[in-house]
Amino acid sequence: MTHYVEDFASGENVLPPRSWLDDDSGRLPLSGDWSFRLSPTVADAPDDLKDPDTTGWDTIAVPGHWQLSGYGKPAYTNVVYPFPLEPPYVPTDNPTGDYVRTVTVPADFDGAKIVLRFEGVDSRFAVYVNGSYVGWSSGSRLASEFDVTSLVAPGKEARIAVRVHQWSTGSYVEDQDMWWLSGIFREVNLLALRPHAASDVFVKAAWDHLDGAGTLLVESDVPGTVSVPELGLEVPTGEHVRVEGVQPWSAEVPRLYDAVLRTAGGDVRLRIGFRTVAIVDGIFTVNGNRVLFNGVNRHEFHPDRGRTLTEQDMLDDVLIMKRAGINAVRTSHYPPHPYFLSLCDEYGLYVIDECDLETHGFGYEPQPPNLPNPVMDPRFRDDLVLRIQRTVHRDKNHPSIVIWSLGNECGMGSNLKDMYDAAKALDPSRPVHYERDTEAEFVDIYSRMYTSPEGCAEIGADSSLYRNLPFILCEYGHAMGNGPGGLLDYREVFEKYPRCQGGFIWEFIDHGIRTTIDGREVYAYGGDFGETIHDGNFVCDGLLFPDRTPSPGMHEYAKVIEPLRIVADGNGGVMVTNRYEVLDTSHLTFTARVEVAGEVVGSGTLPVPLLAPGETATLDLPPAIEKFRAAGRPETWVTVTAELTEATPWAEAGHRIAWGQLRLDEPAAAAAAGTAGSASASTGGTGSSAATASGATATAGSPAAGEAGLRGITVGAVQNARLDVWRAPIDNDAIPGVADKWREEGLHRVQHRIVSQGERDGAWEVVTRTAPPQLQWGLRSTWRWTAVDGAVVLELNVVPEGQFPEVLPRLGITFELPKVERVEWFGTGPNEAYVDTRAAAAVGKYSATVAELQTPYVRPQENGHRIDTRWATVDGLRIEAVDHLFGLTVRDWTTNDLETAKHTADLVPGDTTYVTIDIAQTGVGTAACGPALPDRDKLKTAPTSLTLRFTTA
Ligand code: IPT
């Protein structure tokens, strides 16, 4: 009885889809230990599930994936299928897991319709109860229900057996970019649906922003009365009523009204959010307001449990999003666990609920010889239409869901149009999204992924394009490894063109699986489980590390999407703009703090007037702060912060919502410019220098210990200083034309030659030439070391020669010190900041251990750079910028160690610490999946110089 594995149908004997309900039906949760047996093929699985003898079987926890419970191994592919494309067939090696459990059916299920409900089984399964075959189903992330009333007896034991296959015809439409993980991974429940109880309910609650009234219509398969106590409302199902005085639901103010639907057979508890989604003049609105999606793509992931999440995991995700100012989620690329959607209703997140569908590995066109993509193959049609119906039915009562999405990356085909029609037939109130409808033939929202900011601006500027539909980026800002860079460019476009309504960062969390390799705990990515075909660390491209700690990318995104803009007004004052959708600023407290040379000297509250959405105020700094303004003072910064005055359900009082910095020690006009950086080494101008070395005129003779040896120049504590032009390529460098070009140019293996050294004009001068083997280019550097007032001053001049590379990863010096513990610096922080990821970096004084300075990207790569450093102390050595702020990197391993490491556990500190002082570094961008790094953020090779002052404490 296994014909169904290779069948185009969705299932057999599966009940029609219905809404997920919080109701009075009896419920026997079947989470917990089940007997388990894994067979390598379908044929090897004994045909005994009608009467299985489970003696000798293992036990396995349900819900869970068997590959994460000790059976078989996870495998990761992004686009490609790990099996040959010949639907409906799948490999004979098709791991098949049998689950058996005996339960006592509660006596009070008597008289009810008894339903066995599966929230998610990957990928296809058959069910047997008490010796009878019940049916089969597929759609891994969709619910399936079977009527087992005639097979069980209340008060008696029931034996439930489930056969799950890793591969099935359904796998052809579930080619999402994630680990292939099998099994009963969401809950199973035995339900008792009482006679005359509602089992399918559709709440239709709207809100009219013109007259402020709500409307309510509750449809139910069994008639009843809906009561909303808070509104004093009692209304029969099926009756459309106007409700005065309701507050609308939005992501910012997620107002829900508790309601009960009473029928003869019991109660259904509803949480009603009155809100209206509409597209008006090409703009997507909620309650009449233009929405700007500051979103993320969220896969369900936990490093130990895979796609089996606990309620706490889901709450964690929601809290992390809310605290970061994220207001929207695309449930890439399948409907999430229903509890997550309830949390989105409650805490306030706009959701694009996506159907469980992706056929990416087919490409977008028919493959030779005439292999149609499933979305154009009539044999798949009914399953695909049912998939979107199952999605809409299960989730239709969530006010948080504002858009349905048909799926991801399937190309185009008539089955998609049929899915669109099916979604609209069930729910005309929500727009339907599908990104590969690239010409906007039927979709309601125009969507793209990874389009450049310029490309988005073109769409924004031309209403004749794509039927003037609202435009979103369903994926952008690919957060793989170090990055994403350049997010501010997108913000500008989203703010300039009303039609450009934001987007969803790819993606929320790295899917690194916690495992042990060579005795060390690591987060595994593609290939780590010996997969023959895989996509490496493309599975680690989130704003969170696998353990849900935020990566610098998350801090950067949170800063870029802040709901308030706090900047210098160009006149010595501060300008605050409210960019919320519906909130005014009454819930916020504004404070200002002044730091002189990194030391706090004063603070106080700032009387920002109440701002409605869209409003801006400019205000002078209060005298207590203004008094620190003076030309010629040490570097003085005011940090203005907006914090929550009171706790919200998602954050404590005092949680920071937005901030900005103004500089006080410069003329007011210049202060507004802040510290805008440039990656160009030739201009030398990354802001102004804070630390001016006193007595910069060289007087004394050569530093006594100066010598240029085999490994570089050694002067005092500075050991083996060399020019440095290489970084361990980041994921965004690993695309054609970037790191491979740098390697062709020999940048990864330059050699250093001492051209000359000796005393000259009161300095000890070393001339070096840095060049790769074989090639005809080099960098000629003059290092002039001078002893000045107990300090050593280095004046470095670098001149490129020959056919030099146009762009360098970095240009700086690296030297060695005996193992350093702690680093203090005055510059940008606290997190790493590159020329295009510095929005979240504040100027200040920071302190960290060397270990804390490292960013643990799952696949090791360049990290930890702090742009625009004024000075740093590395244990006893102080390094000051004299003419040019520098980028600071301190690590306990070499760039080569970083480059060759596969996992962070491979990086082990030794006795030496490596300090890199960059004149500049190329930005990080998002090119791993997205537009190329803009020229602006590339470090162009050109003659350059740097002066540093070294002192020993
Ligand atoms: C895009 C996919 O939609 C997404 O699921 C993910 O795989 C992402 O790429 C890469 O991380 S598709 C890409 C070919 C543009």
Element holding 492 (H helix, E strand): helix 487-496
Indicate the top mutation candidate among 81, 177, 298, 452 to test ligand 1's pocket, ranked by most ligand atoms within 8 A of CB: 177
Q: Is the pLDDT of residue 705 over 90?
A: no
User: Confidence band (pLDDT; 50, 70, 90) for 631?
Assistant: confident
Question: Distances from the Cα of 931 to the Cαs of 268, 731, 783, in angstroms?
Answer: 49, 13, 38
**Lowest-pLDDT range, 10-14, 686-690, 805-809, 885-889?**
686-690
Distance CA 430, CA 396 (A): 10
Span 531-541, average pLDDT: 97
Tokens 């997969």 found at: 531
Name the nearest CA neighbour of 492 among 535, 539, 460.
460
Q: Is the pLDDT of residue 674 over 70?
A: no
Closest ligand 1 atom to Cα of 478: 11
Distance CA 72, CA 715 (A): 57
- The sign of the torsion formed by the CA atoms of 887, 892, 896, 901 equals negative
Q: Is the pLDDT of residue 685 over 80?
A: no
Q: Is the pLDDT of residue 268 over 70?
A: yes
Q: Is the pLDDT of residue 669 over 70?
A: no
Q: Is the pLDDT of residue 691 over 70?
A: no
Indicate the top mutation candidate among 332, 334, 506, 508 to test ligand 1's pocket, ranked by most ligand atoms within 8 A of CB: 506
Span 422-444, average pLDDT: 98
541 CA from centroid of ligand 1 (Å): 10
Span 926-937, average pLDDT: 98
Q: What is the pLDDT of residues 174-220, one digit of tens each?
A: 999 999 999 999 999 999 999 999 999 999 999 999 999 999 999 99
Q: What is the pLDDT of residues 375-417, one digit of tens each?
A: 999 999 999 999 999 999 999 999 999 999 999 999 999 999 9
Q: What local confidence, expressed as pLDDT, does residue 690 receive?
A: 29
Q: Is the pLDDT of residue 307 over 90?
A: yes
Closest ligand 1 atom to Cα of 474: 3
Q: What local confidence, expressed as pLDDT, does residue 386 receive?
A: 98
Q: Is 797 exposed, middle or buried (0-12, 13-18, 19+ CB in 10 A)?
A: middle
Q: What local confidence, expressed as pLDDT, does residue 1 receive?
A: 59
Strand partners, 261: 226, 268
Residue 744 is a catalytic residue: no
Tokens 């049998």 found at: 98
Q: Is the pLDDT of residue 827 over 50?
A: yes
Q: Is the pLDDT of residue 688 over 60?
A: no
Q: What is the pLDDT of residues 110-138, one digit of tens each?
A: 999 999 999 999 999 999 999 999 999 99
Asked if 615 and 605 touch (Cβ cutoff 8 Å), the reply is: no
177 CA from centroid of ligand 1 (Å): 7
Q: Is the pLDDT of residue 615 over 70?
A: yes
Span 814-835, average pLDDT: 97
Asked if 835 and 921 touch (Cβ cutoff 8 Å), the reply is: yes
Q: Is the pLDDT of residue 90 over 60?
A: yes
Span 287-299, average pLDDT: 98
Q: Kindly state if the Cβ of 177 falls inside 6 Å of ligand 1.
A: yes
Residue 409 is a catalytic residue: yes
Residue nearest to atom 11 of ligand 1 (CA): 538
Q: What is the pLDDT of residues 344-362, one digit of tens each?
A: 999 999 999 999 999 999 9
Domains and CATH numbers, the chain: 3-193 (2.60.120.260), 201-277 (2.60.40.10), 288-559 (3.20.20.80), 562-663 (2.60.40.10), 713-933+941-952 (2.70.98.10)
Q: What local confidence, expressed as pLDDT, does residue 366 receive?
A: 73
Distance CA 186, CA 425 (A): 29
Asked if 81 and 53 touch (Cβ cutoff 8 Å), the reply is: no
Q: What local confidence, expressed as pLDDT, does residue 462 receive?
A: 98
Q: What is the pLDDT of residues 483-516, one digit of tens each?
A: 999 999 999 999 999 999 999 999 999 999 999 9
- Average pLDDT over all residues of the chain: 94
Predicted TM-score (pTM) of the model is 0.96
- The sign of the torsion formed by the CA atoms of 236, 238, 239, 242 equals positive
Closest ligand 1 atom to Cα of 450: 15
Q: What local confidence, expressed as pLDDT, does residue 421 receive?
A: 98
Q: What local confidence, expressed as pLDDT, does residue 680 receive?
A: 45
Q: Kindly state if the Cβ of 354 falls inside 6 Å of ligand 1.
A: no
Asked if 869 and 916 touch (Cβ cutoff 8 Å), the reply is: no
Would you give the distance in Å from CA 347 to the centre of its chain? 19
